[in-house]
Structure 1
């Protein structure tokens, strides 16, 4: 089974992100809006896998009792990790995965981001580019 989870990792905004600062998604119901909504409401409570599958299951209206097998099927193939999230690719956010793999949004202009950037033992990865270099 594949996973999108990271541990002790800071995903930085994509190098070609046009946003000058972290911006909330404006269009409701989009992947970006759903990810943003869940991460703002409950930082460090879910993993990347939980976030991605939860949104997939909600959008596909998968019943609670069918989610176990559906999750196994979803992760039987590789899925794009949060480096490909519109939050980091176009909206200017960073994402921090703690030592348990739980994820939170981080504003790159915040003191929290500066602390994480300076911290030894945290892997720093850039978000995926929107366009080929």
Structure 2
């Protein structure tokens, strides 16, 4: 999706009233916390930490940019310009996230586009798949 802000096209990764189910080839039988290796946290571990501690507080765009900003060590003064530049080109959404492809997490987006994680072993995960109240999309497979 995209929209215009001034003369710059702004792309978004946000979904509304949708559920991203784990990929068909996801090896995790249940939601797993991504491991932290070394000094710098991975994209998966940063996103997991942010969303799991703040369910339905942030949109997908918020999470993806915050992870990017942290990994790039951006200052507060750089954030606004960096966010516009970041979303001036399309970014992969949570369908391409390691959380949905490798670690067994489904991502629910509410009517406002705010997200929360649900392990594939949970009753809530199953309820999203079967309810018919939200659009269900699958995460992308790791292998073709």
Whether TM exceeds 0.5 here: the answer is yes
Are 1:3 and 2:12 matched, yes or no? Answer: yes
Are 1:45 and 2:54 matched, yes or no? Answer: no
1:82 paired residue number: 94
Q: Deviations over 1:59-103 (max 9, x none)?
A: 111111211111000000000000000001011110100000000
In 2, Cα distance between the equivalents of 1:120 and 1:128? 21
Q: How high is the TM-score relative to the length of structure 1?
A: 0.95
Are 1:119 and 2:131 matched, yes or no? Answer: yes
Gaps of 5+ in 2: 1-9
In 1, Cα distance between the equivalents of 2:81 and 2:51? 25
More strand by share: 2
SS in 2 for 1:55: helix
SS in 1 for 2:19: strand
Are 1:72 and 2:81 matched, yes or no? Answer: no
In 2, Cα distance between the equivalents of 1:55 and 1:11? 19
SS in 2 for 1:94: strand
Which of 35, 40, 58 in structure 2 is aligned with 1:26?
A: 35
Q: How high is the TM-score relative to the length of structure 2?
A: 0.88
Give the 4+ runs in structure 1 shifted more than 4 A: none
Once the 2 structures are TM-superposed, how far is the Cα of residue 43 of structure 1 from its aligned partner?
A: 0.4
2:66 paired residue number: 54
Q: State whether residues 46 and 67 of structure 2, in contact with CA within 8 Å, keep that contact through their aligned partners in structure 1.
A: yes
CA-atom RMSD, angstroms? 1.0
